[in-house]
Amino acid sequence: MTLLAVERIKLLTTRSPLWCTLLAVGLTVGFAALIAGVDSESPVTIASTQFGYNFGLVVVMVMAALAITTEYRFSTIRATFQAIPNRSAVLLAKATVVAVVSGLIGLVTAFGSVAISKLIVSEADLAINTAFEWRAVAGVSLIYAIAAVIAVAVGTLIRHSAGAISLLLIWVMLVESLVSLIPKIGDDIQEWMPFYVANKFLTGNPDLTNRPLEEGPPPSSAVLSPWWALAYFAGIAVVLLLVALFTANKRDA
Protein backbone atom coordinates (compact mmCIF):
# COMPACT_ATOMS: atom_id res chain seq x y z
CA MET A 1 0.00 0.00 0.00
CA THR A 2 2.83 2.31 0.85
CA LEU A 3 4.32 1.95 -2.60
CA LEU A 4 0.97 2.55 -4.27
CA ALA A 5 0.63 5.75 -2.25
CA VAL A 6 4.15 6.79 -3.27
CA GLU A 7 3.42 6.27 -6.94
CA ARG A 8 0.07 8.01 -6.61
CA ILE A 9 1.74 11.06 -5.09
CA LYS A 10 4.37 11.02 -7.80
CA LEU A 11 1.89 10.73 -10.65
CA LEU A 12 -0.57 13.29 -9.33
CA THR A 13 1.99 15.93 -8.38
CA THR A 14 3.02 16.49 -11.97
CA ARG A 15 0.84 18.00 -14.62
CA SER A 16 0.94 15.29 -17.26
CA PRO A 17 -1.97 13.20 -15.90
CA LEU A 18 -4.23 16.24 -15.83
CA TRP A 19 -3.37 17.26 -19.37
CA CYS A 20 -3.57 13.72 -20.64
CA THR A 21 -6.97 13.20 -19.05
CA LEU A 22 -8.31 16.41 -20.55
CA LEU A 23 -6.85 15.51 -23.93
CA ALA A 24 -8.14 11.93 -23.86
CA VAL A 25 -11.61 12.98 -22.79
CA GLY A 26 -11.66 15.88 -25.23
CA LEU A 27 -10.60 13.82 -28.23
CA THR A 28 -12.72 10.77 -27.54
CA VAL A 29 -15.89 12.47 -26.37
CA GLY A 30 -15.44 15.17 -28.99
CA PHE A 31 -15.23 12.55 -31.69
CA ALA A 32 -18.36 10.85 -30.38
CA ALA A 33 -20.15 14.20 -30.53
CA LEU A 34 -18.97 14.65 -34.09
CA ILE A 35 -20.24 11.23 -35.15
CA ALA A 36 -23.57 11.75 -33.41
CA GLY A 37 -24.01 15.27 -34.73
CA VAL A 38 -22.85 14.97 -38.32
CA ASP A 39 -23.91 11.50 -39.39
CA SER A 40 -27.66 11.77 -39.61
CA GLU A 41 -28.05 8.93 -42.15
CA SER A 42 -27.48 5.95 -39.90
CA PRO A 43 -28.75 5.55 -36.35
CA VAL A 44 -26.51 6.29 -33.40
CA THR A 45 -25.66 3.05 -31.59
CA ILE A 46 -23.59 2.19 -28.54
CA ALA A 47 -20.91 0.92 -30.90
CA SER A 48 -20.82 4.09 -32.93
CA THR A 49 -20.37 6.22 -29.81
CA GLN A 50 -17.09 4.40 -29.12
CA PHE A 51 -15.65 5.18 -32.55
CA GLY A 52 -12.94 7.39 -31.11
CA TYR A 53 -11.67 5.15 -28.32
CA ASN A 54 -8.35 4.75 -30.12
CA PHE A 55 -7.53 8.43 -29.67
CA GLY A 56 -7.95 8.21 -25.93
CA LEU A 57 -5.97 4.98 -25.96
CA VAL A 58 -3.00 6.65 -27.59
CA VAL A 59 -3.07 9.55 -25.13
CA VAL A 60 -3.32 7.20 -22.17
CA MET A 61 -0.32 5.24 -23.43
CA VAL A 62 1.68 8.42 -23.82
CA MET A 63 0.87 9.35 -20.23
CA ALA A 64 1.78 5.88 -18.98
CA ALA A 65 5.07 5.83 -20.87
CA LEU A 66 5.93 9.33 -19.62
CA ALA A 67 5.23 8.28 -16.03
CA ILE A 68 8.30 6.05 -16.16
CA THR A 69 10.50 7.68 -18.82
CA THR A 70 10.45 11.04 -17.05
CA GLU A 71 11.78 9.24 -13.98
CA TYR A 72 14.77 8.20 -16.05
CA ARG A 73 14.97 11.57 -17.76
CA PHE A 74 15.21 13.43 -14.44
CA SER A 75 16.96 10.62 -12.57
CA THR A 76 14.18 10.51 -10.00
CA ILE A 77 14.30 6.77 -10.65
CA ARG A 78 17.57 6.80 -8.74
CA ALA A 79 16.02 8.67 -5.84
CA THR A 80 13.22 6.12 -5.98
CA PHE A 81 15.45 3.06 -5.96
CA GLN A 82 17.49 4.71 -3.23
CA ALA A 83 14.37 5.06 -1.08
CA ILE A 84 12.96 1.67 -2.09
CA PRO A 85 15.67 -0.77 -3.17
CA ASN A 86 13.10 -3.38 -4.22
CA ARG A 87 12.85 -2.36 -7.86
CA SER A 88 10.25 -4.93 -8.87
CA ALA A 89 7.91 -3.69 -6.15
CA VAL A 90 8.42 -0.09 -7.29
CA LEU A 91 7.69 -0.83 -10.92
CA LEU A 92 4.70 -3.05 -10.12
CA ALA A 93 3.27 -0.27 -7.95
CA LYS A 94 3.82 2.25 -10.72
CA ALA A 95 2.19 -0.01 -13.32
CA THR A 96 -0.76 -0.54 -10.98
CA VAL A 97 -1.30 3.14 -10.26
CA VAL A 98 -0.96 4.15 -13.90
CA ALA A 99 -3.31 1.33 -14.93
CA VAL A 100 -5.93 2.40 -12.39
CA VAL A 101 -5.74 6.04 -13.50
CA SER A 102 -5.92 4.95 -17.14
CA GLY A 103 -8.88 2.73 -16.37
CA LEU A 104 -10.67 5.65 -14.77
CA ILE A 105 -9.93 7.80 -17.80
CA GLY A 106 -11.37 4.96 -19.90
CA LEU A 107 -14.59 4.96 -17.88
CA VAL A 108 -14.94 8.72 -18.23
CA THR A 109 -14.29 8.75 -21.97
CA ALA A 110 -16.48 5.74 -22.75
CA PHE A 111 -19.51 6.75 -20.71
CA GLY A 112 -18.88 10.39 -21.60
CA SER A 113 -19.09 9.44 -25.27
CA VAL A 114 -22.40 7.68 -24.73
CA ALA A 115 -23.75 10.60 -22.72
CA ILE A 116 -22.83 13.27 -25.23
CA SER A 117 -24.33 11.23 -28.07
CA LYS A 118 -27.55 10.91 -26.12
CA LEU A 119 -27.52 14.66 -25.52
CA ILE A 120 -27.10 15.40 -29.20
CA VAL A 121 -29.45 12.73 -30.57
CA SER A 122 -31.99 12.40 -27.80
CA GLU A 123 -34.16 9.85 -29.62
CA ALA A 124 -31.32 7.36 -30.09
CA ASP A 125 -31.52 4.07 -28.23
CA LEU A 126 -28.40 4.20 -26.10
CA ALA A 127 -29.46 2.01 -23.23
CA ILE A 128 -26.71 -0.39 -22.28
CA ASN A 129 -28.41 -3.77 -22.01
CA THR A 130 -26.48 -6.52 -23.68
CA ALA A 131 -23.15 -8.09 -22.80
CA PHE A 132 -21.77 -6.71 -26.04
CA GLU A 133 -22.85 -3.20 -25.17
CA TRP A 134 -21.35 -3.44 -21.71
CA ARG A 135 -18.07 -4.69 -23.19
CA ALA A 136 -18.09 -1.98 -25.82
CA VAL A 137 -18.42 0.77 -23.21
CA ALA A 138 -17.07 -0.41 -19.86
CA GLY A 139 -14.52 -2.58 -21.67
CA VAL A 140 -12.73 0.54 -22.88
CA SER A 141 -11.64 1.05 -19.30
CA LEU A 142 -10.00 -2.41 -19.18
CA ILE A 143 -8.28 -1.93 -22.51
CA TYR A 144 -6.89 1.47 -21.41
CA ALA A 145 -5.62 -0.05 -18.17
CA ILE A 146 -3.85 -2.94 -19.89
CA ALA A 147 -2.47 -0.69 -22.61
CA ALA A 148 -1.06 1.54 -19.84
CA VAL A 149 0.79 -1.45 -18.39
CA ILE A 150 2.25 -2.18 -21.82
CA ALA A 151 3.34 1.45 -22.11
CA VAL A 152 4.97 1.40 -18.65
CA ALA A 153 6.83 -1.78 -19.58
CA VAL A 154 8.03 -0.34 -22.88
CA GLY A 155 8.97 2.92 -21.16
CA THR A 156 10.99 1.02 -18.56
CA LEU A 157 12.82 -0.90 -21.25
CA ILE A 158 13.57 2.07 -23.49
CA ARG A 159 13.95 4.76 -20.79
CA HIS A 160 13.76 7.67 -23.28
CA SER A 161 10.46 9.50 -23.64
CA ALA A 162 10.76 10.18 -27.35
CA GLY A 163 11.92 6.67 -28.17
CA ALA A 164 9.30 4.90 -26.11
CA ILE A 165 6.44 7.09 -27.33
CA SER A 166 7.45 6.83 -30.98
CA LEU A 167 7.71 3.06 -30.71
CA LEU A 168 4.29 2.78 -29.08
CA LEU A 169 2.60 5.14 -31.52
CA ILE A 170 4.19 3.61 -34.58
CA TRP A 171 3.20 0.18 -33.34
CA VAL A 172 -0.42 1.06 -32.59
CA MET A 173 -1.06 3.35 -35.53
CA LEU A 174 1.05 1.84 -38.28
CA VAL A 175 2.59 -1.56 -37.71
CA GLU A 176 -0.59 -3.35 -36.69
CA SER A 177 -2.53 -2.14 -39.70
CA LEU A 178 0.26 -2.27 -42.26
CA VAL A 179 1.28 -5.80 -41.33
CA SER A 180 -1.72 -7.10 -43.27
CA LEU A 181 -0.06 -5.86 -46.45
CA ILE A 182 2.54 -8.60 -46.22
CA PRO A 183 1.57 -11.05 -48.95
CA LYS A 184 0.03 -14.38 -47.91
CA ILE A 185 0.87 -14.38 -44.20
CA GLY A 186 0.04 -10.72 -43.48
CA ASP A 187 -3.57 -11.32 -42.46
CA ASP A 188 -2.63 -14.26 -40.27
CA ILE A 189 -0.06 -12.18 -38.45
CA GLN A 190 -2.47 -9.31 -37.99
CA GLU A 191 -4.96 -11.57 -36.28
CA TRP A 192 -2.49 -11.95 -33.42
CA MET A 193 -1.37 -8.35 -33.10
CA PRO A 194 -2.09 -7.28 -29.50
CA PHE A 195 -4.10 -4.14 -30.13
CA TYR A 196 -5.94 -5.73 -33.02
CA VAL A 197 -6.94 -8.54 -30.68
CA ALA A 198 -7.87 -6.02 -27.98
CA ASN A 199 -10.24 -4.41 -30.46
CA LYS A 200 -11.93 -7.77 -30.77
CA PHE A 201 -12.84 -7.59 -27.10
CA LEU A 202 -14.59 -4.27 -27.64
CA THR A 203 -16.23 -4.84 -31.02
CA GLY A 204 -17.19 -8.44 -30.44
CA ASN A 205 -18.03 -11.29 -32.72
CA PRO A 206 -20.76 -11.57 -33.72
CA ASP A 207 -21.81 -7.99 -33.29
CA LEU A 208 -25.25 -8.32 -31.73
CA THR A 209 -26.32 -4.83 -32.73
CA ASN A 210 -26.01 -5.75 -36.41
CA ARG A 211 -24.69 -2.32 -37.06
CA PRO A 212 -23.26 -1.56 -40.48
CA LEU A 213 -19.51 -1.89 -40.72
CA GLU A 214 -18.88 1.80 -41.07
CA GLU A 215 -20.49 2.56 -37.73
CA GLY A 216 -18.22 2.11 -34.79
CA PRO A 217 -14.66 0.99 -34.59
CA PRO A 218 -13.76 -1.34 -37.45
CA PRO A 219 -14.47 -4.83 -36.21
CA SER A 220 -11.62 -7.16 -35.56
CA SER A 221 -11.35 -10.44 -37.41
CA ALA A 222 -9.20 -11.96 -34.68
CA VAL A 223 -10.07 -15.61 -34.13
CA LEU A 224 -10.20 -15.42 -30.33
CA SER A 225 -13.52 -14.96 -28.57
CA PRO A 226 -13.88 -11.55 -26.85
CA TRP A 227 -12.88 -12.64 -23.37
CA TRP A 228 -10.00 -14.75 -24.67
CA ALA A 229 -8.97 -11.73 -26.67
CA LEU A 230 -8.82 -9.71 -23.46
CA ALA A 231 -6.84 -12.47 -21.76
CA TYR A 232 -4.40 -12.56 -24.67
CA PHE A 233 -3.95 -8.78 -24.55
CA ALA A 234 -3.42 -8.88 -20.78
CA GLY A 235 -0.99 -11.77 -21.18
CA ILE A 236 1.15 -9.73 -23.54
CA ALA A 237 1.15 -6.88 -21.02
CA VAL A 238 2.24 -9.25 -18.24
CA VAL A 239 5.05 -10.73 -20.33
CA LEU A 240 6.33 -7.28 -21.32
CA LEU A 241 6.16 -6.13 -17.71
CA LEU A 242 8.11 -9.17 -16.52
CA VAL A 243 10.81 -8.51 -19.09
CA ALA A 244 10.91 -4.88 -17.94
CA LEU A 245 11.21 -5.89 -14.28
CA PHE A 246 13.98 -8.35 -15.05
CA THR A 247 15.86 -5.73 -17.06
CA ALA A 248 15.44 -2.99 -14.47
CA ASN A 249 16.78 -5.29 -11.75
CA LYS A 250 19.85 -6.21 -13.74
CA ARG A 251 20.64 -2.77 -15.04
CA ASP A 252 22.43 0.03 -13.23
CA ALA A 253 19.92 2.68 -12.28
Please report, as ranges, the residues that interact with other proteins according to CB under 8 A.
2-3, 5-6, 9-10, 13-15, 70-71, 74-76, 78-86, 250, 252-253
User: Residue 216 class from Cβ within 10 Å (0-12 exposed, 13-18 middle, 19+ buried)?
Assistant: buried
Nearer to other proteins, 80 or 190 (CB): 80
Rounded least distance, CB 99 to other proteins, Å: 19
Nearer to other proteins, 13 or 210 (CB): 13
Rounded least distance, CB 243 to other proteins, Å: 19
Residue 109 contacts residue 186 (beta carbons within 8 Å): no
Rounded least distance, CB 253 to other proteins, Å: 4
Nearer to other proteins, 44 or 63 (CB): 63
Residue 113 contacts residue 30 (beta carbons within 8 Å): no
Residue 24 contacts residue 192 (beta carbons within 8 Å): no
Measure the CA–CA gap between 236 and 213, rounded to whole angstroms: 28
Rounded least distance, CB 213 to other proteins, Å: 44
Nearer to other proteins, 73 or 118 (CB): 73
Nearer to other proteins, 22 or 239 (CB): 22
Rounded least distance, CB 15 to other proteins, Å: 6
Residue 94 contacts residue 185 (beta carbons within 8 Å): no
CA 229 to chain centre: 14
Interaxial angle between packed helices 161-169 and 53-73, expressed in degrees from 0 to 180 and rounded to the nearest 10: 160
Sign for the CA dihedral angle at 76, 61, 156, 168 comes to: negative
